[in-house]
Amino acid sequence: MKLSDILSRADRPLISCEFFPPKTDKGEANLWRCLNELRSINPAYISVTYGAGGSTQDRTKGIVTRIKDETGLSPVAHLTCVGASKDDLAALLADYRAAGIENILALRGDAPEGMDHFEAVAGGFSHATDLIAFLREQGDFSIACATYPEGHPESKGGVADDIRYLKMKQDNGADAAVTQYFFDNEAFFRFRDACHSAGVTLSIIPGIMPIGNFDQIVRFSSMCGAGIPNWLRQQMEPIKDDLEAVKALGIELAAKQCRELLQAGVPGLHFYTLNKSEATIAIRNQLTDLL
């Protein structure tokens, strides 16, 4: 089903889950096992990321097509501008149309390995805003985009830039936005209010990262601009080498975060699953009274 229809028909907040295309057969088997387990929490859609390399990109297409054909779940294919001309993108979108894939999460993407900044290829796009406008011309896709409550690391004007470009993404045809993960709900609420004041009306769905490995999250966060609040550091640092304890605390804190977000009226929760199901299911099952 189209994301725009899923969102407009929802009478309660939605759960969605993000996966990345595994590189090995074992990873692939794990992905299908997790997807099967996640059926118990009834995700509204499953999104699949899109990497910088050619083979990863083919895997995204293969996985979203299999999700649609074999699971009955609604897939969302991530798509980036990295290394792709308009013709390359048009060819991929034609494949998606033919396979019945209706939802695209449109991104600029990051610089491929070995490059220190993003550069559009000849005949390609420099920003997600342009990709979204192109997607609108290419067929009847429902389009989601990314947004950054604490600011994208390259946004020279800080969060104000991200709000301006989110409005542009909406004007160019995006139906919904999924945020970078964050741990500071107040930062999200400030961002959401400022977006509304700037005329952003699309659904802003918070991205949730359950912590399973604190060192890994600190590393990710330094690259993607998500802040690690002091209260979180103080609780995680003393136990960070005990991965079971980290996982349990990660679930407890994410459930608390999600409860507060749901009580503040968010339209859904988007889980960065890192191709695991246990934490997402445990968190969802603590929120039954709100979903």
**Should residue 61 be labelled a site residue for ligand FAD when binding is judged by CB under 6 A?**
no
Question: Site map for ligand FAD, 185-224, x if CB under 6 A?
Answer: ----------------------x-----------------
- Per DSSP, the residues of 236-285 read HGGGTT-HHHHHHHHHHHHHHHHHHHHHTT-SEEEEE-TT--HHHHHHHT
Could you tell me which residues are beta bridge partners of residue 76?
47
Find, among 183, 196, 150, 199, the residue nearest to 257 by Cα.
183
Residue closer to ligand FAD, measured from CB, 128 or 255: 128
Active site residue 18: yes
Q: Which of 18, 70, 150, 186 is catalytic?
A: 18
**Should residue 180 be labelled a site residue for ligand FAD when binding is judged by CB under 6 A?**
yes
How far, in Å, CA of 105 to CA of 55, rounded?
19
How far, in Å, CA of 220 to CA of 222, rounded?
6
Shortest separation between residue 147's beta carbon and ligand FAD, angstroms: 7
Shortest separation between residue 146's beta carbon and ligand FAD, angstroms: 3
Q: With the CA atoms of 105, 183, 27 and 45 taken in that order, what torsion angle do they form, in degrees rounded to the nearest 10?
A: -40
Residue closer to ligand FAD, measured from CB, 109 or 124: 109
**Should residue 80 be labelled a site residue for ligand FAD when binding is judged by CB under 6 A?**
yes
Shortest separation between residue 288's beta carbon and ligand FAD, angstroms: 25
Looking only at residues 97 through 156 of this chain, which bind ligand FAD when binding is defined by CB under 6 A?
107-110, 127-129, 146, 152, 154-155
**Should residue 250 be labelled a site residue for ligand FAD when binding is judged by CB under 6 A?**
no
How far, in Å, CA of 89 to CA of 135, rounded?
9
**Should residue 237 be labelled a site residue for ligand FAD when binding is judged by CB under 6 A?**
no
Find, among 253, 76, 248, 95, the residue nearest to 178 by Cα.
76
Residues that bind ligand FAD (CB under 6 A): 49-50, 78, 80, 107-110, 127-129, 146, 152, 154-155, 161-162, 165, 168, 178, 180, 207
User: Which residues are marked as active site?
Assistant: 18
